[in-house]
Amino acid sequence: MPKARLCRTAEILKLTRRCDILCQHALRRPCVVVDLCPCVAHLPPPLRRNQACLRIGIPQRTNSRTNLRTNDIMAESPPTTLNDLAAKITELTETLSRFLTDNSIPEPSFAADSPTSYTGLTAESFMVRQALFDALMDMIYLTQGPSESIFNFVHTCMPDAASLNVLNYFDFWAAVPLDGSASYDDIAKHTDLPREVVRRVIEHATTLRLFAPTEPGKAETRIRHTSRSAALSKNAGLRALVSTLLDDAGPPMTVLPEALRQYTTGKPELTTDMNETSFALFHRHGVFGEYATPWDLLENDGSGEKKGWRQRNFVEFMRYLKDIFQLEKVMLECYDWKAAGKATVVDVGGSAGHDSVVLAQNFPDLSITVQDLGQVKPAYEANVPQELKARVRFMEHSFFDPQPVRADVYLLKLILHDWPDAESIQILRGLVPAMKAGSRVIFIDYVGKHGDSEGAPLPRSIQAMGTATDMRMMALFNAKERPVEEWKGIFQAADSRFEIVRTKADPLTFMVVIEAVLRE
């Protein structure tokens, strides 16, 4: 039996009121300190301690007024009444806004000049916000009741998505000045759409606080920005995200049931044939043309100067993802680049080189080849600073062909989760002939799913980030989000000489880093 002494969590869990409750409890009744179990050892310190505290059995204290328990931060705990939920929402809101005030983080509003996002959230405050989000969704479900909450969802989800997609596709954002207003005629002129279409799309959008009428209820009102439409006006990355997820990836998802019916029913597992995806079904003789995979669409949609516009947009989306998931830090820390010295690196499927530029700027000895599909090259030419082009070169190369460059490090970031097992294995195998003794693969990918874990589950809104991507992978590629162990299996299946020398998984950045060396 380990020696009983004061729980270390007492000093650590001070960031939310609930943690204070735990701390007080721990201080009054010392508990046994145990080593972190492996299932929480990979969590960032604040979460790890929170989990550890739950595991070592500090009883769940209940706030008598709100019935809010410690587990509410981390776990599903269905509230019973509207009043319970309201109290929980109030408490979580107070916790979040106290954190914002204490840290001088400005709160967004609906005004056009509002901050466009929260900056500087810590792991704890992020968890509080997501728990609040879950509670608010529960409130929405409960206030409507089971049947009407379904009715309202299905009634509005497609029109919601369609209006946002139309606004984005025709760049309504730029048609309305950020510090003024525009008439429906002004917007019609800018978008080249009939005035009536403009009015109807905007009328629905305003129900989502995307734009607002200057004179609510008047047919001839002018239109101004809200913070949500202004965020899209200000941020090309956000526009690219909407375009990629709604306009590129959205339509094929509508035929997922039919794809499953045609290709997967009666089988023990989802088909992994790339000709049998929802995407392939949708784009076979589709309205956009004939496309086999999303990359085929991105590369080839459009003609003349417009050709490849979706790929250029996707490049911007990937750059934006790097910002929102703070992947620059992951890139810089995924390997000891300094110790690597004058290393050669291949950034396989490296988009327009946004990661390679970060590496090259921070590590002047690195020499990097960015490989990607042809339509990415103009974005590389435009985005990579001239002075870095000697060290960050672009090579058009398909990763299904044997790797032509002998390098010290092959970087695979956010590549394999787009492919079923067979293709992922093929991509890794394609590297092997070029690999020399001591060269390695640095694999960085999205871990939407963490497999079995002993701790309390993450808030549903965090789980949904993984499950939504997983559904998208299913529809677009017959692929899936894999937990860390499955990624290791893909390496082993590609070549048993791959030795995993390091794994780092972080559920808050949603990223796993695997370093694999090819042994003799």
Ligand X SMILES: C[S@@+](CC[C@H](N)C(=O)[O-])C[C@H]1O[C@@H](n2cnc3c(N)ncnc32)[C@H](O)[C@@H]1O
- Angle, CA of 390, 393 and 399, to the nearest 5°: 160
Closest residue to ligand X in the complex (CB): 349
Q: Which long-range contacts (CB under 8 A, 24 or more apart) does 88-94 make?
A: 88/135, 89/132, 89/135, 89/136, 89/139, 90/66, 91/17, 91/63, 91/66, 92/68, 92/128, 92/131, 92/132, 92/135, 93/132, 94/17
Nearest to 349 by CA among 301, 395, 300, 409: 395
Q: Smallest distance, Å, CB 411 to ligand X?
A: 8
Residues within the interface to ligand X (CB under 6 A): 295, 318, 349-351, 355, 371-373, 376, 398-400, 413-415, 418
Q: Which is nearer to ligand X, 166 or 431 (CB)?
A: 431
Cβ atoms of 240 and 316 within 8 Å: the answer is: yes
Nearest to 359 by CA among 374, 340, 373, 375: 340
Q: Smallest distance, Å, CB 385 to ligand X?
A: 18
Q: Is 119 helix (H, G, I), strand (E, B) or coil?
A: coil
Q: Max CA-CA distance within the chain? A: 77
Q: Which is nearer to ligand X, 49 or 440 (CB)?
A: 440
Rg of the Cα atoms in the chain: 25
Residues pairing with 518 in the sheet: 498
Q: Smallest distance, Å, CB 423 to ligand X?
A: 9
Q: Which is nearer to ligand X, 151 or 400 (CB)?
A: 400
Q: Which is nearer to ligand X, 178 or 332 (CB)?
A: 332
Q: Which is nearer to ligand X, 105 or 321 (CB)?
A: 321
Q: Smallest distance, Å, CB 414 to ligand X?
A: 4
Distance between CA atoms of residues 432 and 52, nearest Å: 41
Q: Which is nearer to ligand X, 418 or 421 (CB)?
A: 418
Q: Which is nearer to ligand X, 239 or 322 (CB)?
A: 322
Cβ atoms of 108 and 114 within 8 Å: the answer is: yes
